[in-house]
Chain A
Amino acid sequence: MDRTACIDLPAFPLQLLLLRHPDWREHPAAVVEADRPQGIVLWANERARALRVLPGMRYAAGLSLAPGLRAGVVPEDEIRRAEAALAERFRRFTPNVEPSAGEPGVFWLDARGLERLFPSLEDWARRLREEAAGAGFDASVVVGFKRFGAYALARAHRGVHVLKNAAEEREATRAVPLDRLALPPATRDALARLGIVTVGGFTDLPAGGIATRFGPEVHRLHRVASGDLEVPLQPERPDVPATRRLVLDHPEEDAGRLIAAIEGLLGPLLDEVGEKGKALAELTLGFRFERLGDHVESLKPASPTLDARLLMELVRLRLQAVRKLPDRVVEVLLAAGETEAAQRKQRLFAEAGGRDLAAANQALARARARLGDDAVVRARSRDAHLPEASFAWERLDALGDAAPRPVSEPRLVRRIHARPQPLPPRERHEPDGWMLRGLEQGPVVRVLGPYVVSGGWWERPAHRDYHFAETKDGEILWLFYDRGTRRWFLQGRVE
């Protein structure tokens, strides 16, 4: 006999919001569509509802009713992540779990045959509810026979409910108020105006009339609710990345032999990735050491690939850097970071340029493999006034085509220190002049400035008086006096 269960975590985004801000439970709180006064309230907690703050209202309107109304946005990806985590938990109770595509916090579960694994379906359902509670969520669980029936009853009732037979489910479903279902509000209201407020009343309407007046979506729902249309459970199949594991009978301390062992694993791993129609974008190497425990390294080829030779070259570069393994390796794990295989573009008419970008990127990948992921970076200009804040280093994954901008007039080059270097305080008496760089550079002969940079008062106030100082032997130094610390710093020099 088909048994289908439905778990409903009512107002799921609101539950997530209150998990994020537990102190808000003591206040009226709501999930809003956007963080602005005109943001629509999507869900409101009991305290807010008691003050008549209702979904559909603008936050500003809610605030006039509940002056202490707390509100936050729960982004889609946060909901998806939480749903995925819950689905993972529920899979411990049944392999087939289907999260609802349109309603956050609703899951269908395959309950067939589970009474043989658990003392009873009631017990199974209760454990599911406890599982949700363990993650901090309130849930209702209904075990029924039809997908729609279980869903409608889970939305309508709190707690755990196991239906005995299909007739009982049908009867109970007919009485479920339509406003408990996630019908489009316009449809729900239109039906209510016709006096149709329960599932039973809805299914009693002629199907043709529904199709004409409410469109195919509602017609489909009508068919599902009437039992004219069966929708099978569509369990989510998590996409498990390809992995290969090798437990070494004899712990290995030689890097060369370890590389050979990895090579043995890599071929089958790439075959599996290839069979999925994908390519490898990242290779994760996991090592379990005898004493030091687990360690992970990751390697990125210049572009997604299934080329074992190329990947092994990167593995060698990374591991050959290690003269001697720090400990004996007892287990090796290879995991593939997969991506859709790119179609190779045919450059029929493209002329071969003087630069080979692919070769350059390959070289950069080798540098990363040899020296670590942060070895290849580039400076990105940033919109800020302080010199060290006006650029940032960012990882460079791949080189693009060069597009140099024309320069109308040549500029002096300023070299900048990664961090301004503190200079010794200036003497009150400098009989030989200001010896910025010691005796060998001579005293400062000319100073330009001050050029003032000040700001950031809302975060970290800064006030610097910048100068260009020329020493006797011609060096031009770029320095500043920091008014906060009352010290001189060297920012860089001018060439």
Chain B
Amino acid sequence: MSTYAPLWCKSCFSFLEGASHPEELVEACAAQGIETMALTDRDGVYGVVEAHVKARETGVRLVLGSEVTIDDGSTLVLLATSRKGYANLCELITAGRRRSEKGVSRVGWREVYEHAEDLMALWGGDRGLLAGEADPFFVAHGLGEAFGDRLYAMAARHRRAEEPRREARLRQRAEKYRIPVAAAHEVLYHKPARRELQDVLTAIRHRVKLVDAGRLLKPNHEHALKPPRAFERLFEDDPAAVARTLEVASRCSFSLDGLRYRYPSERLPDGKTSADWLRELTSEGARGRYGGSVPEDVARQLEKELDLIVELDYCGYFLTMWEIVRFCRERGILCQGRGSAANSAVCYCLGITAVDPVRLGLLFERFLSRERAEPPDIDLDIEHDRREEVIQHVYAKYGRTHAAMVANLIRYRPRSAVRDVGKALGLAETALDRLSKLLPHYGDVAPEAFAEAGLDPEHPVHRDVLRLSSEVLDFPRHLSIHPGGFLLGHDPVSTLVPIENATMPDRTVIQWDKDMIEELGLFKVDLLGLGALNQLHKAFDLLERHHGKNLSMAAIPPDDIATFDMICRADTVGVFQIESRAQMAMLPRLKPRTYYDLVIEVSIVRPGPITGGMVHPYLKRRAGEEKVVYPHPTLEPVLAKTLGVPLFQEQVIRLAMVAADYTPGEADQLRRDMAAWRKTGRIERHHERLVRRMTAKGIEPEFAERVFEQIRGFGEYGFPESHAASFALIAYATAWMRRHYPDVFACSLLNAQPMGFYSPATIVEDAKRHGIEIQPVDVTVSDWDCTLEPGSRPRFAIRMGLRYVKGLGESEWKRIEAARGERPFASVADFVGRTRLDEGTVARLAEAGALSRFEPGRRGALWAAKGAARATRAAMDLDREEATPSFEGLGPVETIGWDYRTTGHSPRGHPLAPLREKLRARRLPDARTVSRLPHGRLVHYAGLVICRQRPGTASGVVFMTLEDETGFVNVVVWSRVYEKHKVLVKTTSFLGVTGKLEVQDGVTHLVAESFWTPKDLLEPAKVGSRDFH
């Protein structure tokens, strides 16, 4: 039996102070025979879940507590003896955090006394008042009264010369106030070797270099977890104090296993239970969905789901989601459930999701199962611009005590690690920047990068950087906020986990992230913003205003042939999920003709199927070029939907269960490990097991390896079928809008920016190519958003909104709107004088051509605008000035260039249109011509780069899209060509490329052999490229 319990341990969740993971501390305790340890991170319980999981695994008993900072700057270590004590601790920390700025906590002594029930207090340490210069008379009495026999004086020793004097004072006062003394030492790391990292963390926390850190650093390495013998030796003069650590630990019986969580129950109509209410709403919803008579199979499914939901007591959760969706509907906010919720018929009938899982054959068990006993996870997509309304509604409905957002822990990754560690060690920041950019975003700190960055890897300082930045990987650096995850509780959330302020105003965040929430089996509500829903909402509004059609998502005609024809042509710029270069290249091959084809289309261009080598077999089988066979007869039910090729995450998991005999537990672990792919090695541990078991069942090893590759790839953004099904609905809706109302589609897409794959310039050019007239910004008629107005063609013309003038904000627009509302503007001077816009804004409007009604020449307008702005400011009379000089007019290239510079697009023409004659004279074809050339033809082409992609799945291959006034050319750049022409490829907007055409299934790619800059041509406007790496 261990002779002591470490009661004051701080892990790396005492941000930038503790130098070991909670798991490492627990493991070290287990290895040294220490039976109980207390985790007491600074003002928080961030690390308790990780420690709890490891403690459960190793058998170490974990006491939960925290080192609480008092508003006088002193500290007190508090330990929870019971659930009540733990709740008190969380509430106390919440009080301290909520009143302080982010990252800081301060509580008052009075608050400590008020929350003392079932908490043990250890008073001492470096910053404990009990050993301070002044006698804490009043505090000692206050603590004594509040804690009674649960108050201990903490004599902490770290072999420092000044400690005996402090300890003598502590003991003398402990005697005076009759407080028993417990021995302690502050544990900051699990082994002495971590001391160096602790020094570095201290330097980072105080933003100083190590050489300047002085006494900010601990004076020695005595903060490692001590083996029992060493601790006994340290306190050999007072064995009673050592024994008292066990006494304290034995009085703390609370464990996270004892956390009983209840989901908030909705306010229910009189006399109804939540189960009754859920059944009633579901059956009402089902009648609405199926037009009065619910099909038998659906009714059966609903009954099955409801029984399980009631049995597991999850009714409250479903009712909450239903309530949020109802709120959105009432406010006219578009929303749609995604993720595994789409597997549930109850969710479909409650209106949470829009996919009928019964018709689509989706598995409910993927969403909820008795065996897994894990709360369901419903993610709700909400139109982006209005998500905050929904978030604030949740806060308002449940209160900030019962609802808080889930944290996102920002952890050290290779780049941030070398930057911070290197800075602490005094390396030049520019050199560290050079080094960090050679490192991957995830994974290890690669030693080769040092030499590549021109830093001698053998230099002692560089060796230290390498070693310590590798050690600090995965340490949390600070707390951020999850994009939309909420934790809701029947009891105040602050009794479960402390709540603190987020950087964003009006947001509060708990101290646990989504993995910790999942680990403890708590419910989370995800409210995510989606630009496509935003766009659709805007489109429905425009449709009603200009076409008199009142449409909604559900009312869009399904299976529209013209829409699928357009999709098959890959004419999908701006269509949700199927607009990217890779999707466009897939569409003519897959030729989607039904909604379910779209579900597959959305899923197939993903790292999982690509790295698993599943794409080509599927396409071949679909085209009838390859027979549909199954690797094993048992797999037919799993893979039949996708012609024997696994494409969805659910299929991979089912496959592991059927073909590799994974138990439900193992399968669930696989799912979790796929989700946590960034944690090194989690997926790898399934490799051998999976391949071995599949091979034993008679499945070809090659197929087994491919399945594993796919699992690995699925970890990186693979799609479950249910998720793809939800997204495919939105994809179809946006495609339908694009096909039938291209003016509405383009206008709404421009007003929903930023979103999607393409820049506004590309959207404008695409609209023009589809016969939509684009009118330029004009201060006399433009609104903030783009608007539709009658044009010279059958469709409405799009008048570009002033939101596209760079540097012009909404407040400036309000001034223009107000002044224009009074009376029309008469001149540049009148416009400037009445709006009182600043010189920069007025100059940009002149350059954008938005003042052309008053001054047709843009340079003249610019001269006038600058003069008017200065004259307005200085109350000068411009009329006395000499005559306006004459300026050279803008040529076509310059005109378009000015448009791009000031608004990011040009309604007047594509930057390459004025150069076409010259390009043609050089035998450089346009994109339309290139698309008609035969396979294998050597082509020289020049266009504007609008997209560069270097996907991780493509082994260094770069994909580029070049654009001209007639369309796109997709370019494939092999890594050796890329390396040779890297600078040109990365930096040049107007780029020439020579290569061979590859034409397959109607899809044309130009495989680059070399790149060049088109010479002796006026430089066209610089077009912003969307680059993805």
> Judging by beta carbons under 8 Å apart, are A208 and B219 in contact?
no
Determine whether A206 belongs to the interface, using a CB cutoff of 8 Å to chain B.
yes
Residues of chain B with a CB closer than 8 A to A27's CB: 454
Name which residue of chain B comes closest to A383, CB basis: B214
> Judging by beta carbons under 8 Å apart, are A190 and B430 in contact?
no
In the complex with contacts A36-B429, A466-B161, A194-B986 CB distance below 8 A: no
- Least CB distance, A446 to chain B, in whole angstroms: 13
Determine whether A16 belongs to the interface, using a CB cutoff of 8 Å to chain B.
no
> Judging by beta carbons under 8 Å apart, are A39 and B133 in contact?
no
- Least CB distance, B806 to chain A, in whole angstroms: 14
> Judging by beta carbons under 8 Å apart, are A194 and B863 in contact?
yes
Residues of chain A with a CB closer than 8 A to B875's CB: none
One digit per residue, 1 when the CB lies within 8 angstroms of any chain B CB and 0 when it does not, for chain A 34-47 equals 01110100000000
> Judging by beta carbons under 8 Å apart, are B862 and A209 in contact?
no
- A458 CB contact (under 8 Å) in B425, B882, B883: B425
Interface positions, chain B 203-261, Cβ under 8 Å from A, are: 210-211, 214-217, 219-222
> Judging by beta carbons under 8 Å apart, are B430 and A195 in contact?
no
- A213 CB contact (under 8 Å) in B199, B210, B461, B867: B867
- Among A63-71, A101-109, A260-268, which stretch is in contact with chain B? A63-71
> Judging by beta carbons under 8 Å apart, are A195 and B987 in contact?
no
- Least CB distance, A66 to chain B, in whole angstroms: 8
> Judging by beta carbons under 8 Å apart, are A208 and B882 in contact?
yes
- A382 CB contact (under 8 Å) in B195, B214, B867, B887: B214
Determine whether A385 belongs to the interface, using a CB cutoff of 8 Å to chain B.
yes
Residues of chain B with a CB closer than 8 A to A212's CB: 867, 870-871, 876, 878, 881
Judged by DSSP, the binding face of B is helix
- B430 CB contact (under 8 Å) in A71, A209, A385, A458: A71
- Least CB distance, A234 to chain B, in whole angstroms: 31
One digit per residue, 1 when the CB lies within 8 angstroms of any chain B CB and 0 when it does not, for chain A 47-72 equals 00011100000011001110111111
CA distance A464 to B1016 in the complex (A): 73
Interface positions, chain B 386-437, Cβ under 8 Å from A, are: 425, 428-430, 432-434, 437
> Judging by beta carbons under 8 Å apart, are B464 and A204 in contact?
no
> Judging by beta carbons under 8 Å apart, are A37 and B983 in contact?
no
Determine whether A32 belongs to the interface, using a CB cutoff of 8 Å to chain B.
yes
- Least CB distance, A52 to chain B, in whole angstroms: 5
Number of CB contacts from chain A to chain B under 8 A? 123
- Least CB distance, B170 to chain A, in whole angstroms: 15
- Least CB distance, A279 to chain B, in whole angstroms: 37
> Judging by beta carbons under 8 Å apart, are A451 and B160 in contact?
yes
- Least CB distance, A451 to chain B, in whole angstroms: 4
Residues of chain B with a CB closer than 8 A to A382's CB: 214
Residues of chain B with a CB closer than 8 A to A52's CB: 983, 987
CA distance A97 to B214 in the complex (A): 48
Name which residue of chain B comes closest to A465, CB basis: B159
CA distance A2 to B429 in the complex (A): 50
Interface size on A, as a range, is 35 or more
One digit per residue, 1 when the CB lies within 8 angstroms of any chain B CB and 0 when it does not, for chain A 249-261 equals 0000000000000
Determine whether B888 belongs to the interface, using a CB cutoff of 8 Å to chain A.
yes
One digit per residue, 1 when the CB lies within 8 angstroms of any chain B CB and 0 when it does not, for chain A 424-464 equals 00000000000000000000000010111111011100000
Determine whether B438 belongs to the interface, using a CB cutoff of 8 Å to chain A.
yes
> Judging by beta carbons under 8 Å apart, are A458 and B211 in contact?
yes
Determine whether A323 belongs to the interface, using a CB cutoff of 8 Å to chain B.
no
- A209 CB contact (under 8 Å) in B220, B429, B882: B882
> Judging by beta carbons under 8 Å apart, are B211 and A213 in contact?
no
Residues of chain B with a CB closer than 8 A to A59's CB: 430, 433
Name which residue of chain A comes closest to B192, CB basis: A454
Determine whether A114 belongs to the interface, using a CB cutoff of 8 Å to chain B.
no
In the complex with contacts A65-B987, A212-B870, A452-B220 CB distance below 8 A: yes
> Judging by beta carbons under 8 Å apart, are A67 and B437 in contact?
yes
- A453 CB contact (under 8 Å) in B219, B425, B428, B847: B219
Determine whether A348 belongs to the interface, using a CB cutoff of 8 Å to chain B.
no
- A67 CB contact (under 8 Å) in B159, B438, B871, B888: B438
- A454 CB contact (under 8 Å) in B164, B210, B221: B221
- Least CB distance, A44 to chain B, in whole angstroms: 13
CA distance A50 to B987 in the complex (A): 11
> Judging by beta carbons under 8 Å apart, are A458 and B210 in contact?
yes
Residues of chain A with a CB closer than 8 A to B133's CB: 408
- B199 CB contact (under 8 Å) in A65, A194, A453, A455: A455
> Judging by beta carbons under 8 Å apart, are B215 and A385 in contact?
yes
Residues of chain A with a CB closer than 8 A to B211's CB: 458-459
> Judging by beta carbons under 8 Å apart, are A35 and B428 in contact?
yes
In the complex with contacts A190-B866, A213-B866, A452-B159, A67-B215 CB distance below 8 A: no
Residues of chain A with a CB closer than 8 A to B666's CB: none
- Least CB distance, A470 to chain B, in whole angstroms: 15
CA distance A384 to B859 in the complex (A): 65
Determine whether A193 belongs to the interface, using a CB cutoff of 8 Å to chain B.
yes
CA distance A370 to B295 in the complex (A): 112
One digit per residue, 1 when the CB lies within 8 angstroms of any chain B CB and 0 when it does not, for chain A 205-216 equals 110110011000
Residues of chain A with a CB closer than 8 A to B195's CB: 454
Determine whether B332 belongs to the interface, using a CB cutoff of 8 Å to chain A.
no
In the complex with contacts A39-B430, A193-B859, A195-B888, A68-B454 CB distance below 8 A: yes
- Least CB distance, B19 to chain A, in whole angstroms: 14
Name which residue of chain A comes closest to B882, CB basis: A206
Interface positions, chain B 452-466, Cβ under 8 Å from A, are: 452-454, 461, 464
- B983 CB contact (under 8 Å) in A35, A39, A51, A450: A51
Residues of chain B with a CB closer than 8 A to A35's CB: 428-430
In the complex with contacts A205-B885, A385-B219, A458-B464 CB distance below 8 A: yes
One digit per residue, 1 when the CB lies within 8 angstroms of any chain A CB and 0 when it does not, for chain B 504-517 equals 00000000000000
Most buried by A among B161, B871, B884: B161
Determine whether B196 belongs to the interface, using a CB cutoff of 8 Å to chain A.
yes
Interface positions, chain B 970-988, Cβ under 8 Å from A, are: 983, 986-987
- Least CB distance, A194 to chain B, in whole angstroms: 5
CA distance A373 to B195 in the complex (A): 43
Name which residue of chain B comes closest to A382, CB basis: B214
> Judging by beta carbons under 8 Å apart, are A451 and B159 in contact?
yes
Interface positions, chain B 793-825, Cβ under 8 Å from A, are: none
CA distance A206 to B863 in the complex (A): 12
CA distance A52 to B1013 in the complex (A): 14
Interface positions, chain B 564-597, Cβ under 8 Å from A, are: none
- Least CB distance, B892 to chain A, in whole angstroms: 15
- B885 CB contact (under 8 Å) in A50, A69, A206: A206
- Least CB distance, A216 to chain B, in whole angstroms: 12
Name which residue of chain A comes closest to B870, CB basis: A212
CA distance A421 to B433 in the complex (A): 45
Most buried by B among A52, A385, A455: A455
CA distance A408 to B195 in the complex (A): 34
One digit per residue, 1 when the CB lies within 8 angstroms of any chain B CB and 0 when it does not, for chain A 184-200 equals 00000010011100000
Name which residue of chain B comes closest to A468, CB basis: B161
Name which residue of chain A comes closest to B423, CB basis: A36
CA distance A217 to B966 in the complex (A): 48
> Judging by beta carbons under 8 Å apart, are A450 and B214 in contact?
no
Most buried by B among A72, A213, A408, A450: A213
CA distance A450 to B211 in the complex (A): 26
In the complex with contacts A52-B987, A384-B214, A455-B199, A209-B885 CB distance below 8 A: yes
CA distance A212 to B438 in the complex (A): 50
- B220 CB contact (under 8 Å) in A65, A69, A194, A454: A454
Residues of chain A with a CB closer than 8 A to B878's CB: 212
Name which residue of chain B comes closest to A64, CB basis: B437
List 9 additional A-B contacts (Cβ < 8 Å) besides A32-B430, A65-B987, A383-B215: A35-B428, A37-B429, A39-B430, A52-B987, A65-B986, A67-B437, A67-B438, A213-B863, A458-B461
A-B pairs, top 3 by smallest CB distance, nearest first, are A383-B214, A37-B433, A451-B161
8 pairs, CB–CB < 8 Å, chain A vs chain B? A39-B430, A63-B437, A65-B986, A212-B876, A384-B215, A385-B217, A452-B159, A452-B222
